[in-house]
């Protein structure tokens, strides 16, 4: 699951004592993280699909004129 600290909270990883990144991190679904979620210390972040390259439609003004096939 992906979680981030709740507003105004600083949460440390068990064992390493490193702070959980404010943007969110993937964590294992252990009792530590599930209890932190239940107590409101962290919030679950919904996974987002990786953003695809934006599609840009060619406008008639910028597109090249179609070439006629050679006879």
Q: Give the pLDDT score at 49.
A: 58
Which residues pair with residue 12 across a beta bridge? 19
d(CA 37, CA 40): 5
Q: Give the pLDDT score at 56.
A: 58
DSSP letter at 70?
P
Does the structure show a pLDDT above 80 at 11?
Answer: yes
In this prediction, residue 63 has a pLDDT band, given cuts at 50, 70 and 90, of low
Domain boundaries, the chain: 2-44
> Does 30 or 69 have the greater pLDDT score?
30
Instruction: Return the structure tokens found at 20.
Output: 């959980």
3-state SS, 2-62, equals EEEECCCCCCECCCCCCECCCCCEECCCCHHHHHHHHCCCEEECCCCCCCCCCCCCCCCCC
pLDDT by residue (tens digit) across 15-59?
Answer: 999 999 999 999 999 999 999 999 999 999 987 655 555 565 555
């Amino acid at each position: 699951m992906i979680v981030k600290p709740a507003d105004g909270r600083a949460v440390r990883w068990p064992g390493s004592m490193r702070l959980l990144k404010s943007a969110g991190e993937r964590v294992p679904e252990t009792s530590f993280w599930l209890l932190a979620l239940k107590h409101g210390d962290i919030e679950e972040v919904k996974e987002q699909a990786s953003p695809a390259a934006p599609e840009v439609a060619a406008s008639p003004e910028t597109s090249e004129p179609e070439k006629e096939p050679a006879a």
